[in-house]
Amino acid sequence: MLSKVIEKALNGQIRIEAESSQIYLAMACWAEVKGLEGVAGFMYDQSDEEREHMLKLVKFVNERGGHAHVSELKAPNVTFNSFKEMFEMLLKHEVFVSESINDLVHAALQERDYATHNFLQWYVAEQIEEEAVARTILDKINLIGDDKGGLYLFDRDIQQLTVST
Ligand code: OFO
């Protein structure tokens, strides 16, 4: 059974995952209208994954005697100055999500809620992977610089970087 404190904290994370899905959906749309189909496909996949992260939390909360809340979401940024800026925002957002997961793990330990602590380990591992992918992408973008041919190849190859979970 979840304590009220943990239920509230998990509901906060449900909202963050839902907002992540919206943020990446907006990035997918921007990439698509800019003609980078590969980047758009990658971002659509990221958006789907965030929804999966959200649903996993929703089911856990409901199964543990809590009530998962579907809340209003903050509108995401819909335009970017460059792909580099977009991916910098992605990395920044993932670091924010990792911090939020860390806070949750800390709260679970404080509440002596070992079931939630155990459940959250999947998210801890997932965040390590997602941050690593975002950093790899930014390294590649920095290598490409203003080279249009490089951007073309990057767009073609980015789908292979999709985090599979
Ligand atoms: Fe990419 O954040 Fe979910 O967990």
- Closest ligand 1 atom to 49 CA: 3
Find out whether the beta carbon of 50 lies less than 6 Å from any atom of ligand 1: yes
Question: Which ligand 1 atom lies nearest to the CA of residue 46?
Answer: 1
pTM (predicted TM-score):
0.94
Q: Is 94 in the pocket of ligand 1 (CB under 6 A)?
A: yes
Residue 2 confidence (pLDDT): 97
Name the residue of 60, 91, 105, 126 to mutate for ligand 1: max ligand atoms within 8 A of Cβ.
126
Residues 24-74: pLDDT tens digits?
A: 999 999 999 999 999 999 999 999 999 999 999 999 999 999 999 999 999
Q: From the CA of 17, give the closest atom in ligand 1.
A: 3
Residues 6 or more apart whose CB falls under 8 angstroms from that of 134 comprise 87, 90, 91, 94
Residue 15, C-beta contacts closer than 8 angstroms, at least 6 positions apart:
69, 71, 73
Q: Mean pLDDT over residues 67-82, rounded?
A: 96
Residue-wise burial string across 45-68, b where 16 or more C-beta atoms lie within 10 A, e elsewhere:
bbbebbbebbebbbebbeebebeb
pLDDT of residue 4 exceeding 70, the answer is: yes
User: Is 8's pLDDT higher than 80?
Assistant: yes
